Chain A
Amino acid sequence: MKSFQYLAPIPAFDYVAPRTTSELFEILGGRGKELQLIAGGTDLTIALKERLVTPQIVVDLGRLRKELGGISVEGGILRIGALATFSEIESSPYVARCSNCLRQAAANVGTLQIRSIATLGGNLATASPAADSAPPLIALGATVTLLSRSGKRTLPVQGVFTGPKRNGIRQGEIISCVEIPANEVRSAWTRAAVRNENALSTVSVAVASTISGRRFGPSRVALGAVAPTPILAEKASAAMTGSEATPEQAARVAALAAEDAKPISDIRASEHYRKRLVSVLTRRLILQILSESMMP
């Protein structure tokens, strides 16, 4: 039982808080599996209490906020540092302007207390299939920049998620930032959960599109908690792109999104119910984008 372990102290570990990334890479180079990074810590502290991880050394990234934090727009790219918190994302005017679906998702993560400290980089690294930041980022075509001693590489957000709680970040690498094309795109996010606040998503959906001349431009539908990782709904996205911007088409795209979903039945919902939710929520979001595009 978990609760017994909560009574005992967390097993001892060493704690270091590097002040520069070169100091950080020095530490990462010298150690293997027994090392855990801590950003906000809202996932790691629970994993420590439940003995899901028993590191010998915990490396605190908190002193690297200048290098790995912040939100800015430069050269048509919205850059969100890995250590940006969900509160910072929720209240950023840059995010509100070009990444509405991400702002909506950030405002719904956990509770005020969790959003105050939990980071975007941490949410991606934990790689939960239900990570609420992932569908918006996938819908917006975001990329993740990974930094190591030898340089950097860039992955699409889907590339960071390799399985439930498994990420594609190599040893010696850290997430440095997320980059989003700062386009005039319409986007929206919603989810279903057992309650409105502080609950894991049963299903989450993000849609990003442009509408001109009564047609959808390049469009992406992304889904969370309906597969081992957050996914791009490929059939739905392809069918939406370039199609007629009508309520009938919204229903067709939504039905395809349900086909793209590969959910399991678990404690939160059945496979059947999740597929139904994907269809309902996707249709709702597309209709919302349609009606917003008609406003003057």
Chain B
Amino acid sequence: MKVKFRLNGETRTDEIEPNQTLCDYLHDAAGTTSVKKGCDTGECGACTVLLDDMPVTSCLVLAPQIDGREVVTAEGLGSKSSPHPVQREFVEQDAVQCGYCIPGMIVTLSWIQGHAPGASDAEIKRLMSGNLCRCTGYLQQIEALKAASKTP
């Protein structure tokens, strides 16, 4: 079926099979390979993207559900030459180890930065609980978020 949507600022009309998740579609067909499939059951957050400016686990969204809507992946937040403040601080604060959780983690933390500025540590932890980091780099990631909020 034809699905019209915006992906990282670009309007697209794609032929999409409905029996696939948004995660599989974004990673395998749309070329946004930052979107990682981890658990495929909405537990780990590695596939997190913004749908109409809300973080969702794209493995729990059917691809055609994005018709008429806006999707942003980690690629859409910033680039190598012009990174998002959270992306910049992930590098500065050594918040990256194996890397698998990182794109999803950055999508969630960039949302927290924009929508819950000044959140307490407890609130940050509650909001990022849907993103698991098996390397347990959480403290550096929280530091990166705070640093990004100081110098946006």
Contact = CB atoms under 8 A, between A and B. Distances in A.
B59 A45 contact: yes
Contacts of B129: 111-112, 196-198
Given A38-B65, A60-B65, A62-B65, A11 B40 contact: no
**Residue in A11, A13, A198 whose Cβ sees the most chain B Cβ within 10 Å:** A198
Given A110-B130, A111-B129, A116 B21 contact: no
A117 B20 contact: no
A113 B65 contact: no
A194 interface: no
A13 B19 contact: yes
Nearest to B111: A112
B118 interface: no
B113 to A, nearest CB: 13
Contacts, number: 93
B64 interface: yes
Interface in B88-147: 108, 111, 126-130
Interface string B6-28: 00000000000111110000000
B130 A198 contact: yes
Given A15-B18, A117-B56, A112 B64 contact: no
A32 interface: no
Given A111-B129, A116-B56, A196-B129, A41 B20 contact: no
B54 A111 contact: no
Nearest to A11: B19
A117 B61 contact: yes
A49 B40 contact: yes
A121 to B, nearest CB: 16
Nearest to B47: A113
A192 interface: no
A48 B128 CA distance: 27
B15 to A, nearest CB: 13
A196 B126 CA distance: 9
B130 A10 contact: no
Contacts of A49: 40-41
A46 B75 CA distance: 27
B68 interface: yes
Given A17-B67, A42-B60, A114 B130 contact: yes
Contacts of A48: 19
B77 interface: no
A9 interface: yes
Contacts of B18: 12-15, 58
A14 B18 CA distance: 7
B42 A15 contact: no
Interface string A164-197: 0000000000000000000000000000000011
User: Quick one: which of B21, B45, B127, B130 has the most chain A CB within 10 A?
Assistant: B130
A112 B130 contact: yes
B19 A12 contact: yes
Interface string A80-114: 00000101000000000000000000000011111
A193 to B, nearest CB: 12
B27 to A, nearest CB: 14
Contacts of A6: 40
B54 A60 contact: no
Contact of A45 (B60, B67, B127): B60
Q: Lowest 8 CB-CB distances: which A-B pairs, in order?
A: A111-B130, A197-B129, A15-B18, A116-B54, A10-B19, A113-B57, A113-B130, A42-B60
Given A45-B62, A58-B18, A112-B129, 6 more contacts: A15-B64, A111-B42, A111-B45, A113-B57, A113-B108, A113-B130
16 contacts: A6-B40, A13-B18, A14-B18, A15-B18, A15-B64, A17-B64, A60-B65, A63-B68, A112-B108, A112-B111, A113-B60, A113-B108, A117-B51, A196-B126, A197-B126, A198-B43
